[in-house]
Amino acid sequence: MSEDLPKSEELAKVDYDPPKRDWMDPTVEIRRGNYNYGSNPKSAEYLDMPYVRKFDPKADDWNLPDNWKQIVLEGMRDRIMKYRSFHVFMDVCVRCGACADKCHFFLGSGDPKNMPVLRAELLRSIYRREFTTAGKIMGKMAGARELTPEVIKEWFYYFYQCTECRRCSVFCPYGIDTAEITMMGRELLHLLGIGIDWVTTPAANCFRTGNHLGIQPHGFKDSMDFAADDLKDLTGVDVEVPVNKKGAEVLFVVPSADYFGDPHYFGFLGYLALFHEIGLDYTLSTFASEGGNFGLFHSADMMKRLNAKLYAEAKRLGSKWILGGECGHMWRVLHQYMDTMNGPADFLEAPVSPITGTRFENAKTTKMVHICEFTADLIQNDKVKLDPSRNDHWRVTFHDSCNPARAMGLLDEPRYIMRKVCNHFYEMPENTIREQTFCCGAGSGLGTDENLEMRLRGGFPRGNALRYVQEKHDVNLMACICAIDKATLPALADYWAPGVQIGGLHELVGNALVMKGENRPTDLRSQPYETEEEQKDE
From the CB of 93, what's the least distance to another protein, in Å?
Answer: 7
**Strand ranges of the sheet holding 368-370, from the earlier edge strand across to the other edge:** 282-283, 250-253, 321-324, 368-370
Judged by CB under 8 A, the residue of 109, 161, 182, 244 near another protein is 244
Instruction: Name the DSSP letter for residue 359.
Output: B
Which alpha helices (DSSP H) does 324-368 contain, by range?
A: 328-332, 338-342
- CA 438, CA 158: separation in Å to the nearest integer? 18
Other C-beta atoms closer than 10 Å to the C-beta of 9 total: 7
Q: Interaction with another protein in 198-227: which residues (CB under 8 A)?
A: 207-210, 216-218, 221-222
Give the shortest CB-247-to-another protein separation in angstroms: 11
Per-residue interface string for the shown chain with another protein, residues 94-113, x marking contact by CB under 8 A: xxxxx-xxx----x----x-
Contact residue for another protein among 34, 161, 205, 286 (CB under 8 A)? 286
Name, in order, each residue with C-beta under 8 angstroms of 145's C-beta and a sequence gap of 6 or more. Answer: 24, 26, 125, 126, 128, 129, 151
Of 64 and 341, the one with the shorter C-beta distance to another protein is 341
Minimum CB separation of residue 152 from another protein in Å reads 22
Distance CA 404, CA 430 (A): 17
Cβ atoms of 315 and 245 within 8 Å: the answer is no
Shorter beta-carbon distance to another protein: residue 130 or 392: 130
| Helix (H) or strand (E) run with residue 399 in it | strand 396-399
Q: Based on CB atoms, which residue is closest to another protein, 30 or 317?
A: 317
Between 329 and 393, name the residue whose CB sits nearer to another protein: 329
How does DSSP classify residue 531? P
- The least distance separating another protein from the CB of residue 60, rounded to whole angstroms, comes to 28
Contact yes or no for 272/240 (Cβ under 8 A): no
Q: How far is residue 370's CA from residue 253's CA, in Å, rounded to a whole number?
A: 10
Residue with Cβ nearer another protein (305 or 486): 305
- Which of 38, 459 has the CB closer to another protein? 459
* Minimum distance from residue 359 beta carbon to another protein (Å): 10
- Contact pattern from residue 390 through residue 429 relative to another protein, giving x for each residue in contact according to CB under 8 A and a dash for the rest: ---------------xxxxxxxxx--x------------x
Binding to another protein by CB under 8 A, coded x per residue (else -) over 70-89, reads ----------xxxxxxxxxx
Strand partners, 323: 252, 369
SS3 323: strand
* Phi/psi of residue 303, nearest 5 degrees: -60, -45
Q: How far is the CB of 248 from another protein (least distance, A)?
A: 12
Interface residues for another protein in 475-534 (CB under 8 A)? none
| Interaction pattern, residues 18-57, with another protein; x per rule: CB under 8 A | x----x------------------------x---------
Cβ atoms within 10 Å of 252's Cβ, excluding its own: 24
Peptide bond into 263 cis (omega under 30): yes
Nearest to 24 by CA among 130, 156, 118, 157: 118
Torsion of CA 421, 516, 271, 244, to 10 degrees: -170
To another protein, the closest distance from the beta carbon of 236 in angstroms equals 25
* Least distance from another protein to the Cβ atom of residue 489, Å: 17
Size of site (CB under 8 A) for another protein: 121
Is 161 a binder of another protein (CB under 8 A)?
Answer: no
Q: CB of 535: closest distance to another protein in angstroms?
A: 31
Nearer to another protein, 264 or 467 (CB): 467
For the purposes of burial, counting CB atoms within 10 Å of the CB of 385, is it exposed (0-12), middle (13-18) or buried (19 or more)? exposed
- Count of H-run helices and E-run strands, the chain: 25, 7
Contacting another protein within 134-153 (CB under 8 A): 134, 138, 141-143
What is the residue type of 137?
I
Q: What are phi and psi of 314, to 5 degrees?
A: -60, -35
Based on CB atoms, which residue is closest to another protein, 435 or 494?
Answer: 435
CB 306 within 8 A of CB 206: yes
| Candidate residues 227, 376, 428, 477; the one interacting with another protein per rule CB under 8 A | 376
The whole-angstrom separation of Cα 357 and Cα 381 is: 10
Min dist. Cβ of residue 233 to another protein (A): 22
Is the sign of the CA dihedral 210, 214, 218, 223 positive or negative? negative
Given 28, 49, 52, 118, the residue binding another protein (CB under 8 A): 118
Smaller CB distance to another protein: residue 84 or 516?
84
Distance separating alpha carbons of residues 290 and 172, to the nearest angstrom:
33
- Residues 327-366 binding another protein (CB under 8 A) are 335-337, 339-341, 343-344, 358, 360-366
Q: Does 132 sit near another protein (CB under 8 A)?
A: yes
Query: Shortest Cβ distance from residue 522 to another protein (Å)?
Result: 30
Task: Give the nearest distance from C-beta 257 to another protein in angstroms.
Answer: 21
Contacts (CB under 8 A) with another protein, residues 425-484: 429, 431-432, 435-436, 460-461, 464-465, 467-468
In angstroms, what is the minimal distance from the CB of 52 to another protein?
Answer: 16
Rule CB under 8 A: is residue 308 a binding residue for another protein? yes
Q: Is 210 exposed, middle or buried (0-12, 13-18, 19+ CB in 10 A)?
A: buried
Q: Which of 69, 304, 383, 473 binds another protein (CB under 8 A)?
A: 304
